[in-house]
Amino acid sequence: MIHPIPSGTRDVLPDETREVRAITDALRCVFERHNYGEVYTPALEYESVLERADMAEAKPAYRVFDESGATLVLRSDMTVPIARVVATRYPTVDPPLRFCYLAHCYRGVRPQRGQPRELLQAGIELIGAPAPVGTVEALNVLCSALDEIGLADYKIGLGDASLYPSLMASLGVPVELRPQLLSALAGRDFVSLERDLREIELSTDDKELLLAVPQRRGSPDVLDASLGAVADATANMRDVYELLTPDVAGKVIFDLGLVRSIGYYTGAVFEVYDPALGAPIGGGGRYDELLGRFGRSLPAVGFALGVDRLHIALMGEERGTGARLP
Amino acid sequence: MSATNGLTIAVPRGALFDETVELLAGLGLDTSELRSNDRKLLFEDIGVITMRPSDVPTYVEAGAADIGITGKDVILEQVGSHDDQAGREIYELLDLGYGRCTMVLATKAGPDPAAEALRRLGVMRIATKYPRIAARHMEQTGRQAEIVEVKGSVELAPLTGMVEAIIDLTATGTTLREHELVVREEIVVCTARLIANPVAHKLKANAIDELLERLRAN
């Protein structure tokens, strides 16, 4: 008899589990070595609690009702549950707090390679460590973790969530038009961005900036070539970069157009790329306002890696499919 | 460095093919085999793979091609609406301008049968090869519709009385006129677009930007 399981979920059988375990064991070791204590939280949470966070695209997609009629959701990430844990269980403990997790999260995505609806995430949250030192620590742990599991060709795209909003503000883009431009950028649609910009009453130079700046990415030169309008954001990026060890710094690509689909990021944001996979393996960033929404205002930073994507990228590198880069 | 900077490019067969090949030739690519051999799919020596236009976003999103060319109609159809997160994770980098078509809502000539159906039956039936674009358009204009997905000649559907209207792509309007259909609404103008894989866009930034610059200059 064949019995189906929901689209976007799957069974993991021993051969695969052994390989996944090798990855997750190595990640745990690295996280523990950096003093990140592992936590488990319920997969089900009250919708009213998780709603405090601005999840934007990544908000919970699955809801159930409990026996009292309360709405429960399957968590869509671990950052928001950990923010809840910090506010609830550590209301007075002195920061910084360090947590790590290996946990399944649930998203209403179109299931495809490396993008299941039930995804195993591995990540850390560093609570109470402001920029840039907190960001630098998170990037260090991220690189240690990826090095430890043997991923060789990865790069880390580093951007700043405040960059484009402050660019729009300083160039005087009307407030009501900003969401539209940001949404074109988040949708990676530069054709729409250009078309929307054409409609706005701004000087040609300013329009060109608004189109060109988010397409700047690459070596630290992209920071030097930048301008007053985004000076704060690029200064933040430079601060982080200057504190990185050379091996971590060598992995960083600056990306002035990096926008994450989750809404709660405030400052530095980053994504992990590997030539062996067509989609980011993971990412993270600063969420300095999220904890405040749960009643314990602390700056924070974290990242999550998709374990399945890591596995695919590792196998791709092994098979040499990742060697196409010049 | 090769004419495509070592990038793998997904090229659409079909209506956009000839102009795409012209574009690639303009970049200095040796397109002679591409033109002469229409059975071959993989042209590794020039970094080109060919496929039907609707497959281009699939290959580019998966990273099997770094960049690709396809119609805006294809992209719009594969982008999710708010209730269905099917959006493709790709960059849309450039409007290439050619392959200009309009997505239209058309019905039989004479009194508008779709408007009559909406008024008297509360819903209009629409045949289309673009069910997502059609559903989104009807939703955005606040009208109830039953979307009937067909794979072949859409013009047949209103002529047989199966539906009151069609939503389809038209370049010159000739096919519509031949079947005595008239355009009632223009929904969106579609042209060829250059798209890129999000990881390639970061890891091969220089190659992609340089190519983009040459395309803009063309």
- CA B58 vs CA B42, B52, B87: distances in Å: 16, 11, 11
Domain-embedded: residue A99: no
Fold that domain B9-99+191-217 belongs to in CATH: D-Maltodextrin-Binding Protein; domain 2 (3.40.190)
Q: Domain for residue A299, yes or no?
A: no
Is A94 domain-assigned? no
Q: What is the pLDDT of residue A322?
A: 46
- Residue A35, classed as helix, strand or coil, is coil
Architecture of the domain defined by B101-189: 3-Layer(aba) Sandwich (3.40)
pLDDT at A229: 77
Tell me whether residue A62 is in a domain: no
| Neighboring chain A residues of B61 at a CB cutoff of 8 Å | 278-279
Distance CA B14, CA B50 (A): 10
* Overall average pLDDT of the A183-203 stretch: 92
Considering only alpha carbons, which residue of chain A is nearest residue B195?
A189
Domain ranges of chain B: 9-99+191-217, 101-189
pLDDT higher than threshold 70 for residue A142: yes
Indicate yes or no: CB of A190 within 8 angstroms of CB of B94. yes
Give the pLDDT confidence score for residue B84 in this predicted structure: 43
Reference B190, options B115, B130, B142; nearest CA is: B130
Share of chain A above pLDDT 70, in %: 97
A227 found inside a domain: yes
CB contact under 8 A, A278 and B197: yes
Q: B168-172 long-range CB contacts below 8 Å, 24 or more apart?
A: B168/B103, B168/B104, B168/B106, B168/B128, B168/B129, B168/B130, B169/B73, B169/B101, B169/B102, B169/B103, B169/B104, B169/B130, B170/B101, B170/B102, B170/B104, B170/B106, B171/B100, B171/B101, B171/B102
A188:B80 CB<8 A? no
Average pLDDT, chain A: 92
The per-residue pLDDT for B180 is 95
Instruction: Name the residue range of residue A237's domain.
Output: 162-259
* Closest C-alpha among A40, A35, A170 to residue A105: A40
What is the ipTM score, two decimals?
0.87
On the question of pLDDT at B153 being above 60, the answer is yes
Q: Across the interface, do A191 and B95 touch by the CB < 8 Å criterion?
A: yes
In this structure, of A62-76, A108-122, B27-41, the range with the lowest mean pLDDT score is A108-122
What is the signed CA dihedral for A105, A34, A126, A73, rounded to 10 degrees? 20
- Is A191 within 8 Å of B203 when comparing Cβ atoms? no
Closest to A295 measured CA to CA, from A116, A92, A140: A92
Question: What's the whole-number mean pLDDT along residues B186-210?
Answer: 96
Per-residue pLDDT reduced to its tens digit, B47-73: 999 999 999 999 999 999 999 999 999
Q: Fold match between B9-99+191-217 and B101-189?
A: yes
Domain count, chain A: 1
Q: What's residue B82's pLDDT?
A: 40
Query: Taking CA atoms, what residue in A is nearest to B209?
Result: A215
Q: Distance between CA B214 and CA B218 in Å, rounded?
A: 6
- The C-alpha of B168 sits at a distance from chain A's nearest C-alpha, in angstroms, of 22
Tell me if A255 and B202 make a contact (CB, 8 A cut-off).
yes
Q: Which residues contact A197 (CB under 8 A, 6 or more apart)?
A: A181, A207, A210, A211
Q: Tokens representing B99? A: 């392959």
Q: Does A294 lie at the interface with B, CB-CB under 8 angstroms?
A: no
Lowest mean pLDDT among A132-146, B73-87, B122-136: B73-87
End-to-end CA distance of chain A: 49
Q: Considering the entire predicted model, what is its pTM?
A: 0.89
Using the Cβ of B189 and the Cβ atoms of chain A, whether some distance falls under 8 Å is answered with: no
